[in-house]
């Protein structure tokens, strides 16, 4: 049990450190920022206007082009994933719901056919609420997004494919 607490503490420290660092964005890396407030359940957008991890509806070509695979290679289990349009003032609901995304695993993110925005912001959180954000992801050009954390440099990156 002590080792589980130690691992959890180290993981929280890594996420907190990553959230506080701000690497310069490049083609494959988005800057960590903290400009949006997390949405409360009462402020969450309606399901018809937000992405869903397991949507079973047929998408138009625009919404289908926004669909992507999110890969967790951070070394930490992700408890929550928020995705919202870049120009929105708050976060949509957690697309994982009651699920989590363990390190080494991936999830298919499917968009509702009504979505038309190209640029999106992404926020991940661990169980303690420590978060990392990436801004202005062009989901019309991204089919796979792999999230990484480098403990040596204490920086989180996102590799877009």
pLDDT for the residue 86: 94
Element (H, E) at 132: strand 131-138
Structure tokens at 75: 């070394």
What is the residue-level pLDDT of the chain in tens, covering all 161 positions?
444 444 544 444 444 444 444 443 433 333 333 334 333 222 222 233 334 444 334 434 556 678 999 999 999 999 999 999 999 999 989 999 999 999 999 999 998 878 888 899 999 999 999 899 999 999 989 999 999 988 788 899 999 99
Q: Which CATH class name applies to 2-160?
A: mainly beta
pLDDT at 5: 44
Domain coordinates in residue numbering, the chain: 2-160
Buried b (16+ CB within 10 A) or exposed e, 80-98: bbbbbbeebeebbbbbbee
pLDDT of residue 62: 59
**The pTM of the whole model exceeds 0.85:** no
For 118, residues 6+ apart whose C-beta sits below 8 A from its C-beta are: 66, 138, 139, 140
């Amino acid at each position: 049990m002590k080792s589980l607490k130690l691992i959890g503490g180290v993981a929280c420290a890594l996420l907190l450190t990553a959230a506080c660092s701000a690497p310069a964005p490049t083609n494959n890396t988005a800057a960590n920022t903290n400009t949006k407030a997390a949405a409360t359940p009462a402020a969450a957008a309606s399901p018809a206007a937000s992405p869903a991890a397991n949507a079973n509806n047929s998408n138009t070509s625009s919404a289908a082009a926004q669909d992507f695979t999110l890969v967790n290679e951070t070394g930490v289990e992700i408890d929550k994933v928020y995705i919202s349009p870049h120009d929105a003032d708050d976060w949509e609901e957690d697309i994982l719901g009651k699920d989590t995304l363990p390190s080494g695993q991936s999830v298919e993110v499917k968009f509702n056919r009504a979505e038309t925005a190209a640029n999106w912001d992404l926020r991940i959180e661990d169980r303690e609420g420590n978060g990392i954000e990436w801004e202005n992801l062009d989901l019309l050009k991204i089919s796979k997004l792999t999230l990484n954390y480098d403990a040596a440099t204490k920086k989180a990156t996102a590799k877009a494919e």
